[in-house]
A and B are shown apart, each in its own frame.
Chain A
């Protein structure tokens, strides 16, 4: 313990160099005392002992050391004193002894729920549509909208499906009652937007068209008279079947997972040539064969192909210069496969017990 009631001379200090050790000892002495302080009374005693106005240690230092010191020491003492004061005041302020010991709080029953906040849920179809759009946006496909009430020209003729063609049986059509029958119909696919877009834009074309489509189909677990499709179209000077495969493969992996493989099987659509059905390896059984894939290991995902040159004739594109691919997928089918939904009717029924499962 350094006796601050004595003068520096009595303590044998005559040079500035000795001050460091002197003040370090004082600081250590304070720290030891402060560490012992656990209640407010002890804190107050410590405060009075060190920074008390009348007889605190700092007061003593000022009176006994600083004031009588020769000019060459005064400055150094002042500096040390200030540092010590700062340290002491800060320590006192932050002392845990200052925090009043509160009455012990009643323990909350943490298992009780909080106040319920309602949070709406996006329709699962909307979520899946968003996801599909995001995937294609990432690789440069612009999203466009089209009318649901269409003319036979856009829905069939311009897609190389003439009247009285057996291929029309592929689409059971709902017609609008018009003064002259057959003038308007509910689009059976989103493909009419291929024509509408190409009529208005020159290549490069990269679009997807999400939207509702309609079929004269009796509803059951896998058929609906209204459902969603996403159409895709890419036309450019250098688009090939390999690009078509690449894009389908990218989509399938992004949507269903990196392990899912893609296979193309020849098919027929009047507006694509060569035409293909796109299959993904069954993600339920990893291709081993199960109920979902009807033991085949593969699941049909969408119809697609290279744009038939006949279609370019309807939109005044030069079929010798441009090539491209198109595809169309059922959105409900994608959602059913991804989330294991077993009845397509659930989507448009909008039972909130169904909707809220996808929060």
Chain B
């Protein structure tokens, strides 16, 4: 909100420059973002919080300024020169929806001369961003900016029956508002009507039919109190936010309605002449009771932790209108721990209803920074998040392997998401998205990973190894399910050309090697075929991991299928993997807990290489498992060293070079012993896999 320095100073005498006032108001929570020059003098840009509708006018701001400087606020005392004839003889007010309208005042001014406003008034309104319309409408706006309470002026002669009926709109009822738009209303909306039809949207905008025109002679001045929720809903439903609706939806002061009306009548008379009929038609069925509040020093100390002197408490609360009175038995004694003040809630402060609210009032004007800083004692050990150590270790492993960490937004394009979503997984769509590109929560981290790879490829970064610790989101039986996932993405070169080495492209074996390195931390993975259709079936695998007593399927890894690479115009082979983090972390922790020292071998290890001729269909895992099945305790390692076909190898066969390492904890193995193991191994491979030993 904009506010003028000179206008505020009409209500309080301050020794403060604009900058000093800005600092003092900000320190009390009425944040002034800037002070600028305007034709009407220094202009403040005030960033008001929604709890302070009382500061939506210069008088309210002046009250805060008065409190900040412990100065006194001048009273508003309009002087009306009324004629004998009562307003009640000229109009009547009926409130048919008292639950939405607690007060409605009407004043009548007859015989006005509608015309332009004087320069001083136009200048002020324009400095606040309000266009000048005519002297009557300008007077209502001026008083709204002055006292904070919206008003509306009707052309009394255009009101059927010359009367006001405040009621809910009838279904389908229509009104053309001041902005010239015809609007269809519902019974949730409150209207200010005459005997026949709505003449204004209560608290939001007046109607065009009864607006003040050049030929207007007689004015009915409305100043009322409307229910904040109803105003807010109406303004939302119609997409119509006005100065009036912003004020009413935050809660106006019902007591101010009559005063603002009096002030406005005074101003209209000054600007447009005419005669003010006597009194006000005031429909005010139930004036609210004045709420009493108690502030105790005990509670102030309990919350704030340091004291505020009596005279400061009393000066601040008095300046803000709380009229504090000491009511405790020790009231003669300053600084008493038993001190208690009875306060009366001012009708303009809907936000102050409890002792804690009074404490805030005192604290913010006393100065937050006058309460000394202190550290609370620790009462219990702090804990890390579940799996924090496992996550940190897995992350450190990936960083050491040369993967950069990414953090992506989980809001994605539904079509993209669908490419990688697990089957039977219900998406989480956004009802009011900012764009289609961000209209759904991702069902896998892959969709974000592909986006990020694509972004980098499009920005000239061709060699990428990335990972993300993120979440996937789905609806499971209508309930949200968020799962922690680890996503890997890689493309381009595994090694760049340098003076020392030649370049080498990233391959499936790199991805597998990296995952196996990660696997070492969790007790190893098992690799199985059969992967989702976004991965190339020949170059991808499902990963299983032992977590607890069971083998869990925890993810997939492989090459992005060619139909997607070309559809997404990626032009490079893309390697992807996604693992569920919960079982991965559990496996990490289980392995960690089981770690024990093993005696270092004291006797040398012996290596034997076997060159095997195998059928094309035989996989390395079968060879390994066949050898392991012999259960030779001295066999400590089985490695695949080389693999080739063609040349001297018969068609349908291939040659596999396997290295076996033997070691005994009890003695140096003799040649004879090792030879015996090898014979048994070759025999088993021959029987089970028809493997033939080639001469090396």
Contact = CB atoms under 8 A, between A and B. Distances in A.
Interface stretch (B256-264, B271-279, B408-416): B408-416
B455 interface: yes
Contact of A176 (B384, B430, B500): B430
A225 B452 CA distance: 17
Contact of B432 (A147, A174, A241): A174
Contacts of B363: 241, 266, 274
Contacts of B27: 265-266
B10 to A, nearest CB: 25
A240 B381 contact: no
B474 to A, nearest CB: 10
B353 to A, nearest CB: 10
Contact of A115 (B51, B357, B400, B500): B500
A216 B433 CA distance: 8
B380 A204 contact: yes
Given A118-B465, A225-B438, A245 B376 contact: no
A12 B203 CA distance: 132
Interface residues of B, number: 89
A351 B455 contact: yes
Interface in B453-469: 455-456, 459, 461, 464-467
B127 to A, nearest CB: 22
Nearest to A184: B480
B398 A234 contact: no
Contacts of B380: 140, 204, 206
A349 B250 contact: no
A181 interface: yes
A263 B359 CA distance: 19
A116 interface: yes
Interface string A140-160: 111111011100000000000
B1 interface: no
A186 B368 CA distance: 34
B477 interface: no
Interface stretch (A37-45, A56-64, A90-98, A163-171): A163-171
B405 interface: yes
B409 A348 contact: yes
B612 interface: no
Contact of A242 (B26, B306, B411, B434): B306
Interface residues of A, number: 91
B384 A143 contact: yes
B44 interface: no
A20 interface: no
A121 B399 contact: yes
A122 B395 contact: yes
Given A350-B406, A351-B459, A149 B250 contact: no
Contact of A177 (B52, B371, B430, B498): B430
A142 B382 contact: yes
Contacts of B466: 350, 352
A245 B431 contact: no
B550 to A, nearest CB: 25
B292 interface: no
A120 B379 contact: no
B376 A246 contact: yes
A309 interface: yes
A273 B299 CA distance: 13
Contacts of A264: 368-369
Contact of B428 (A176, A212, A225, A355): A176
A243 interface: yes
Contacts of B438: 225
Contacts of B430: 174-177, 186
B478 A266 contact: no
Contacts of B29: 265-268
Interface string A82-124: 0000000000000000000000000000001111111111110
Given A226-B410, A234-B376, A176 B429 contact: yes
Interface in B370-409: 371-376, 378-386, 388, 395, 398-409
A268 B373 CA distance: 21
A283 interface: no
A123 to B, nearest CB: 4
Nearest to B395: A122
Contacts of B28: 266
Interface in B18-52: 26-29, 31, 49-52
A210 to B, nearest CB: 9
Interface of B: 26-29, 31, 49-52, 228-229, 232-233, 249-250, 302-306, 354, 356-357, 359-360, 363-364, 368-369, 371-376, 378-386, 388, 395, 398-411, 428-434, 438, 441, 452, 455-456, 459, 461, 464-467, 471, 473, 478, 480, 482, 495-496, 498-501
Given A226-B410, A265-B27, 15 more contacts: A140-B379, A141-B382, A144-B385, A149-B441, A214-B411, A225-B434, A242-B371, A243-B305, A245-B368, A246-B374, A266-B363, A270-B51, A274-B360, A274-B364, A306-B356
7 contacts: A175-B430, A176-B430, A206-B376, A236-B379, A265-B29, A268-B49, A351-B461
